[in-house]
Amino acid sequence: MRRYFPFIQSLICYLFIVLFVYAAVSKLIDFETFQTQLGQSPLLASYAIPISYGVIIIELVVALLLMFDRFRKLALQLSLLLMVMFTTYIVIILHFTAFTPCSCGGVLEKMGWTEHLFFNGVFVGLALIGIRIANNSQIWKRYIIQQFFLILIGIVSVTILYGLSEKKSQYNNAFTRKYIPHLAEKQTTLNLESTGYYIAGIDSCYLYLANTETPLFLKRYDYLANQIKDIKLEIDQYNLPYKRVITEVQTSYFYLGDGSVGILFRGKIDDWKAKTISKGDVYYNQFVVADSSKFGIATYSTKVKANVLGLLSEHQLQLNYNSLEKKLDGTFESDGTLLWNSQLKKFIYVYYYKNQYLEFDAELSEMKTGNTIDTISKVQIDVGYYKKTKQYKLGPQTLLVNKLASIYGNQLYISTDRLGNFEQKIEGTSVIDQYDLVNKTYTHSFYLYHSPKKQLRNFTIYKNKIFAIVDHELYIYNKRK
């Protein structure tokens, strides 16, 4: 077997040479895109320029060293270190960040993140074999200790980079929250077995849960009796290129809409059969139900090249072109959450990227502004342009101020990941800030406690209960008055 060691080592070296040269050349061919992709990375955005040059130089230098016998031992150790760092980066991207960037060229561009994780794992194993052959006379204990520390250095270095990036994105505020301890007490949890669920509606007995992956099925959860029932929805048009169907349930009606094809359905909950009430009148990003025949929409207007709000009622469309502020690009900067307050009969629009929300009357004619306690009054967005796909995409340096929003009575509730003065990130919690819409004041904040390492994806308030979807679980809390 030992007589084959030189051949195996040479084969491993040639594989690494091909890998590194191919990866480096691919990056150089489309260097501008490579830099843009690094700038969109949750870990590397602050260091995109030096890293873009450094990675290519290191890959080519290691490939060159692998060509000479006298440098192969060092080159294989460098190869192991690089592959461990690349692998650690992918693990963090897949499991510990909310934002998944585009690929970074080369082989990675041809594979998904998970596939490339396994690909890297194979090359880590090849590097270990090559190093062992190069140190054939070394005792196993010393070999294991040396490679363990080399692997540890690779993991720790990337983890530190991630930690610095997290700290930079969170600890940069100057406001102070007023917390009410144990305001929300967990009552029960329900395993939904999928992360695609969101809250479609609620009444005094039932919580309706829809799923983006199976849009024609609802779960009706009787939260008083703790019973759940699956419901099949029917529509009168199936042969359309649907992309993202959203369901909303209110009183005796349910609604389905897909803004990408410009369609809205309405049906009664006693038979769960919906008919088309609008088709081709407007393409929209969001819709909310004001009543059974009037809808608020958020859409992009080609006329003013910006996001605007509008009213849609029985094939009649009315757009308010001055509803949303537009200073930069008119698109990302004005993104937000559109809500309807049935108690106050008002539309509420909460901006994602600045500390402001808008309040409109039922006709979208009168507008008032309110502010959240965050200090970000000017949008700070990180937009990258990808020539290949001709798309603009937001990067991790974008400051997301108001992540999720819900409304009940005269109270506005906003979930945010932003930390204020004297705050530390508490694992397994989500922060909810509460505002009085009548007095335009911040009242207090409270924690929703849930499973650690999980993400709050959707929540709503009804009377004294809070319903929250955290990844694949539904949490129900009792809210103290």
**pLDDT 10s digit of each residue in the chain, 481 long?**
567 778 888 899 999 999 999 989 988 888 877 877 776 576 776 677 788 888 999 999 999 999 998 898 899 999 999 999 999 988 887 777 655 665 555 455 667 777 888 889 999 999 999 888 888 767 788 888 888 999 999 999 988 877 776 555 444 456 878 888 889 999 999 999 988 999 999 999 999 999 999 999 999 999 999 999 999 999 999 999 999 999 999 989 999 999 999 999 999 999 999 999 999 999 999 999 999 889 999 998 888 888 899 999 877 899 998 888 776 555 678 899 999 999 999 999 999 999 999 999 999 988 899 999 998 888 887 766 666 666 666 666 678 899 999 999 999 999 999 888 767 888 999 999 999 999 999 999 999 999 998 999 999 999 999 999 999 999 999 998 7
DSSP code at position 234 = B
* Residues of the domain holding 116: 4-172
Q: Is the dihedral of CA 65, 67, 70, 76 positive or negative?
A: positive
Element (DSSP H or E) covering residue 141: helix 140-170
Q: Please state, in angstroms and as integers, the Cα–Cα distance from residue 314 to each residue in 140, 233, 281, 360, 361, following that order.
A: 77, 22, 9, 21, 19
Q: Please state, in angstroms and as integers, the Cα–Cα distance from residue 36 to each residue in 20, 108, 396, following that order.
A: 20, 15, 12
Region for 385 from its dihedrals, namely left if φ exceeds 0, alpha if ψ lies in -120 to 50, beta otherwise: beta
Whether residue 269 is found in the same domain as residue 391: yes
Note whether 52 and 406 are within 8 A (CB): no
DSSP code at position 350 = E
> CA-to-CA distance for 60 and 414, rounded, in angstroms?
49
Whether residue 223 is found in the same domain as residue 168: no
Whether residue 205 is found in the same domain as residue 63: no
For residue 398, is it within any domain?
yes
Note whether 362 and 290 are within 8 A (CB): yes
Burial of 139 (0-12, 13-18, 19+ CB in 10 A): exposed
Note whether 66 and 76 are within 8 A (CB): yes
- Residue type present at position 268: K
Q: Which one of 172, 195, 222 terminates a domain? A: 172
Phi, psi dihedral angles at 479 (to 5 degrees) = -100, 120
3-state secondary structure of 233: coil
The structural domain count of the chain equals: 2
Q: Which two tokens stand for residue 160?
A: 């530190």
Burial of 243 (0-12, 13-18, 19+ CB in 10 A): exposed
Whether residue 309 is found in the same domain as residue 238: yes
Whether residue 95 is found in the same domain as residue 206: no
N-term to C-term CA, the chain: 76
Whether residue 317 is found in the same domain as residue 197: yes
Whether residue 384 is found in the same domain as residue 252: yes
Closest CA to 356 of 330, 327, 376: 376
Whether residue 399 is found in the same domain as residue 426: yes
For residue 453, is it within any domain?
yes
Question: What CATH number does residue 328 fall under?
Answer: 2.120.10.30
For residue 36, is it within any domain?
yes
3-state secondary structure of 76: helix
Q: Which two tokens stand for residue 463?
A: 């009377």
Whether residue 162 is found in the same domain as residue 115: yes
Q: Which residue has the tokens 């077997």?
A: 1
* Number of H-type helices and E-type strands within the chain: 7, 26
3-state secondary structure of 365: coil
For residue 178, is it within any domain?
no
For residue 391, is it within any domain?
yes
Q: Is the dihedral of CA 245, 248, 254, 257 positive or negative?
A: negative
For residue 382, is it within any domain?
yes
Whether residue 49 is found in the same domain as residue 122: yes
Closest CA to 207 of 469, 18, 478: 469
Whether residue 270 is found in the same domain as residue 389: yes
> CA-to-CA distance for 348 and 358, rounded, in angstroms?
6
> CA-to-CA distance for 443 and 434, rounded, in angstroms?
6
Q: Which one of 115, 144, 172 terminates a domain? A: 172
For residue 179, is it within any domain?
no
Whether residue 52 is found in the same domain as residue 89: yes
DSSP code at position 26 = H
Beta-bridge partner residues of 438: none
> CA-to-CA distance for 281 and 314, rounded, in angstroms?
9
For residue 455, is it within any domain?
yes
> CA-to-CA distance for 367 and 349, rounded, in angstroms?
10
Q: Which one of 150, 172, 194 terminates a domain? A: 172
